[in-house]
Structure 1
Amino acid sequence: MHIKDWKIVLVGCLIILLSPLFGQKSDDNATARAEIKGTPRIIHYTRKDFSGDPQIWAMCQDNDGIMYFGNNDGTLIFDGARWQTVSLPNNSSVRSLLHTTDGHVYAGGFNEFGRIERDEYGHYSYHSLIDQLSPEDRNLENIWAIHEVQNHIVFRSLSRLVAISNNKAFTIPSTGFYHSAVINDKLYLVNGEGVKTLDLQTLSFESLVAPSQFNQETIVAMVEGTAENQVILFTRSGASYTIDHGSKNIHFFKSYFTGNSNNQILSAIKSSAGHYYLGTLSSQIMVLDEHGDPVPLTESFMELQDNTVLNLSESSEGNIWALLNNGIDCINISSPISVLFENASVFDAMIRGGKIYAATNQGVFVSQRIVQNPHFASMEFRKIPGLEGQAWSLLSLHGQILCSHNDGLFVIDDNNILKIEGLAGVWKVIPIRGKDNHYFVCTYTGIHMLRFENGKFELLYRVDGFNESSRDIIQSDEENTFWVCHGYKGVFKLQFDRNFERVVGLEHFREKGLPSPFSINVFRWNDHIVFTTNQGVYTFNETSNQFDPMTELNERFGTDVNVRKLLQYEDKTWFVQDDEAGFFQRDSKKLEKGLFLELKGTFNRSMESILPINTSNVLIGTTTGLYAYDLSFQQHADTKKTLITEVNYQDNGERTKRSLKGSSEQIPHSASDLRFEFSAPKLKDQTQVQYSHMLEGIDEDWSDWSVDPFKNYSQLFPGKYTFKVKARSMIGETTSESSYHFTIAPIWYMTRWAIGAYVLMILLIMIGSRKLVKKKIVVEKEKTREEEKKKRTVLELELDQMRLEREKERIERDKKILEEDVIFKSKELANYTMLLVKKRELLTDLREDLKELKEVAKNERSRNMLRNLIRKIGVNLNDEEHIHVFEANFERVHDDFFQELKTYFPDLTSKELRLCALVKMNLTNKEIAPILNISLRGVETARYRLRKRLSLDHEENMVEFLEKLSP
Structure 2
Amino acid sequence: MNFKKILFHFLLLFFLKTTLSGQVKNIGLPEIRNYKRIDYKGGTQNWNIDQDKNGNLYFANNNGLFQFDGSSWHKYNLPNFSSLRCLKIDATGKIFVGGYNEFGYFKSDLKGNLEYFSLSKLLNENNIKAIDFIWKIHLFQDEVIFQSFKKVYIFKNNKIKLLKAPNRFQFSFQVKNNLYFQDVAAGILKYNNGKFFALEGSKALNNTEIWGMFPMNNDKILITTLDKGIFVYDAKKLISWNTPANEFVKKNNSLGGVSIKDKFFAFNSVLDGIIICDLSGKIIQHINRKNGLQNNTVLTSFIDNKNNLWLGLDNGIAFVNENSPFTYFGPSYGISTVYASVVYKGNLYVATNQGVFYHPWNTAFEEDTFALVEGTKGQAWNIQVIDGQLFCAHNSGALQITDNKSVRLLNTKGYWSFKKVPNNSNLMIGSNYNGFALFEKTIKGWQYKNQIERYDKSVTSFEIDGDYLWFIKDDILYQLGIDENQKQFKTIKTYKNLSSSAKGIGSVQHLINHVVFQKNNHFYKYSHEEDVFFEDKKTSNLFKNIPNIRNLNEDFYGNIWYFFDESLGVLMKDKNGTYKNVVAPFSNLTGNLVYNYESVNTIDLNSIFIGLTDGLAHYDSKALNNSVTRPKAFIRSFSFSNDTLIFGNGQNKIGKYSIPYNSNHVRFTFSAPIYENVENIKFSYQLEGFDDKWSNWSSISLKEYTNLMEGGYKMKVKVKNSYGVESEETIIPFTISPPWYRHFMAYVFYILSIVASIYFIRKRIKTKIRKNKYYETIEQRRLYLEKESKIRQEQYELEKEIEKLKNDKLQIKILLKDKELVNNTLQVVKKNKILNGIIQKLKDINVESFDESTKFQFTKLNKSIVKEVNADKSWKDLEMHIKNVHFDFLKRLKEKYPTISPRELDLSTYLLMNMSTKEITEIMNISRGGVELARYRLRKKLDLNKKENLIGFLMSI
Maintained 8 Å contact 1:639/1:735: yes
Letter in 1 for 2:192: D
CA positional deviation for 1:334: 2.5
Letter in 1 for 2:65: T
Letter in 1 for 2:296: N
CA positional deviation for 1:274: 2.2
Q: Does residue 416 of structure 1 match 2:442?
A: no
Q: Distance in 2 between matches of 1:599 and 1:514?
A: 37
Maintained 8 Å contact 2:229/2:253: no
Secondary structure at 1:306 match in 2? coil
TM-superposition CA deviations, 1:633-690 (whole Å, max 9, x none): 22677653122221224x4xxx532464543333444447643222222444446544
TM-superposition CA deviations, 1:148-192 (whole Å, max 9, x none): 111211111233222223333322333233221122222212212
TM-superposition CA deviations, 1:573-609 (whole Å, max 9, x none): 2211333212123455652111110222333343321
- Larger displacement relative to structure 2 (75-84 or 431-440): 75-84
Secondary structure at 1:591 match in 2? strand
CA positional deviation for 1:295: 5.3
Quote the residue 1:680 is aligned against.
672
Maintained 8 Å contact 1:117/1:126: yes
CA RMSD for the aligned pairs?
3.6
Secondary structure at 1:613 match in 2? strand
Quote the residue 1:433 is aligned against.
422
Equivalent positions of 1:560-709 (< 5 A) are: 561-570=548-557, 572-586=559-573, 588=578, 590-632=580-622, 633-634=624-625, 640-649=631-640, 651=641, 655-658=642-645, 660=647, 662-671=654-663, 674-686=666-678, 689-709=681-701
When residues 547 and 399 of structure 1 are mapped into structure 2, their CA distance, relative to the original with a 3 A threshold, is: closer
CA positional deviation for 1:75: 1.2
When residues 603 and 744 of structure 1 are mapped into structure 2, their CA distance, relative to the original with a 3 A threshold, is: same
Letter in 1 for 2:191: L
Identify which of 278, 281, 306 aligns with 2:295. Answer: 306
When residues 749 and 535 of structure 1 are mapped into structure 2, their CA distance, relative to the original with a 3 A threshold, is: farther
Q: Distance in 1 between matches of 2:340 and 2:531?
A: 34
Letter in 2 for 1:160: K
When residues 636 and 258 of structure 1 are mapped into structure 2, their CA distance, relative to the original with a 3 A threshold, is: closer
Letter in 2 for 1:59: I
- Identical residues among aligned pairs (%): 25
Quote the residue 1:754 is aligned against.
746
Letter in 1 for 2:561: W
When residues 67 and 299 of structure 1 are mapped into structure 2, their CA distance, relative to the original with a 3 A threshold, is: closer
When residues 56 and 471 of structure 1 are mapped into structure 2, their CA distance, relative to the original with a 3 A threshold, is: closer
When residues 400 and 720 of structure 1 are mapped into structure 2, their CA distance, relative to the original with a 3 A threshold, is: same
When residues 687 and 237 of structure 1 are mapped into structure 2, their CA distance, relative to the original with a 3 A threshold, is: farther
Maintained 8 Å contact 2:55/2:305: yes
Identify which of 125, 147, 152 aligns with 1:161. Answer: 152
Letter in 1 for 2:105: R
Q: Does residue 327 of structure 1 match 2:313?
A: no
Instruction: Looking at secondary structure, tell me which structure has more helix per residue.
Output: 2
Maintained 8 Å contact 1:472/1:521: no
Maintained 8 Å contact 1:64/1:682: no
Quote the residue 1:939 is aligned against.
none
Letter in 1 for 2:336: A
Q: Does residue 480 of structure 1 match 2:467?
A: yes
When residues 748 and 501 of structure 1 are mapped into structure 2, their CA distance, relative to the original with a 3 A threshold, is: farther
Equivalent positions of 1:251-650 (< 5 A) are: 251-254=239-242, 263-293=252-282, 297=286, 303-342=292-331, 343-364=335-356, 366-373=357-364, 377-378=366-367, 380-414=369-403, 415-421=405-411, 424-476=413-465, 479-486=466-473, 488-513=474-499, 518=504, 520-534=506-520, 536-540=522-526, 545-558=531-544, 561-570=548-557, 572-586=559-573, 588=578, 590-632=580-622, 633-634=624-625, 640-649=631-640
Letter in 2 for 1:339: Y
Q: Does residue 45 of structure 1 match 2:32?
A: no
Quote the residue 2:231 is aligned against.
241
Q: Distance in 1 between matches of 2:713 and 2:88?
A: 38
Quote the residue 1:68 is aligned against.
58
When residues 219 and 288 of structure 1 are mapped into structure 2, their CA distance, relative to the original with a 3 A threshold, is: farther
* TM-score normalised according to structure 2 size: 0.71
TM-superposition CA deviations, 1:305-354 (whole Å, max 9, x none): 33332222222222222222222222222322111245432222111122
Secondary structure at 2:416 match in 1? strand
- Larger displacement relative to structure 2 (36-45 or 93-102): 36-45
TM-superposition CA deviations, 1:553-574 (whole Å, max 9, x none): 4444338623421324425322
Q: Distance in 2 between matches of 1:537 and 1:372?
A: 43
Q: Distance in 2 between matches of 1:609 and 1:30?
A: 20
Q: List alignment gaps of at least 5 residues for structure 2.
A: 17-25, 648-652, 774-957
Secondary structure at 1:228 match in 2? helix
Letter in 1 for 2:108: R
Identify which of 179, 183, 194 aligns with 2:187. Answer: 194
Maintained 8 Å contact 2:498/2:504: no
Secondary structure at 1:131 match in 2? helix
Q: Distance in 1 between matches of 2:582 and 2:7?
A: 35
When residues 578 and 131 of structure 1 are mapped into structure 2, their CA distance, relative to the original with a 3 A threshold, is: same
Q: How many residues align?
A: 746
Q: Distance in 1 between matches of 2:249 and 2:482?
A: 74
Quote the residue 1:910 is aligned against.
none
Q: Distance in 1 between matches of 2:251 and 2:479?
A: 72
Maintained 8 Å contact 2:394/2:415: yes
Secondary structure at 2:169 match in 1? coil
Q: Distance in 1 between matches of 2:65 and 2:309?
A: 19
Q: Distance in 2 between matches of 1:328 and 1:656?
A: 32
Q: Distance in 1 between matches of 2:224 and 2:69?
A: 32
CA positional deviation for 1:231: 1.8
CA positional deviation for 1:527: 3.4
CA positional deviation for 1:89: 1.1
- Larger displacement relative to structure 2 (303-312 or 550-559): 550-559
When residues 560 and 107 of structure 1 are mapped into structure 2, their CA distance, relative to the original with a 3 A threshold, is: closer
Maintained 8 Å contact 1:271/1:314: yes
Q: Distance in 1 between matches of 2:682 and 2:55?
A: 17
- Larger displacement relative to structure 2 (310-319 or 585-594): 585-594
CA positional deviation for 1:42: 2.1
When residues 696 and 499 of structure 1 are mapped into structure 2, their CA distance, relative to the original with a 3 A threshold, is: farther
TM-superposition CA deviations, 1:47-79 (whole Å, max 9, x none): 211222212222211111212111222212222
Letter in 2 for 1:195: I
Maintained 8 Å contact 1:93/1:109: yes
Q: Distance in 1 between matches of 2:599 and 2:248?
A: 49
CA positional deviation for 1:437: 0.8
Q: Distance in 1 between matches of 2:484 and 2:251?
A: 76
Maintained 8 Å contact 2:631/2:721: no
Maintained 8 Å contact 2:323/2:627: no
Maintained 8 Å contact 1:480/1:498: no
CA positional deviation for 1:735: 4.1
Secondary structure at 1:749 match in 2? helix
Letter in 1 for 2:48: A
Maintained 8 Å contact 1:640/1:683: no
When residues 746 and 445 of structure 1 are mapped into structure 2, their CA distance, relative to the original with a 3 A threshold, is: farther
Q: Distance in 1 between matches of 2:84 and 2:379?
A: 55
CA positional deviation for 1:426: 2.3
Quote the residue 1:58 is aligned against.
48
Q: List alignment gaps of at least 5 residues for structure 1.
A: 1-18, 782-967
Secondary structure at 1:437 match in 2? strand
When residues 510 and 358 of structure 1 are mapped into structure 2, their CA distance, relative to the original with a 3 A threshold, is: same
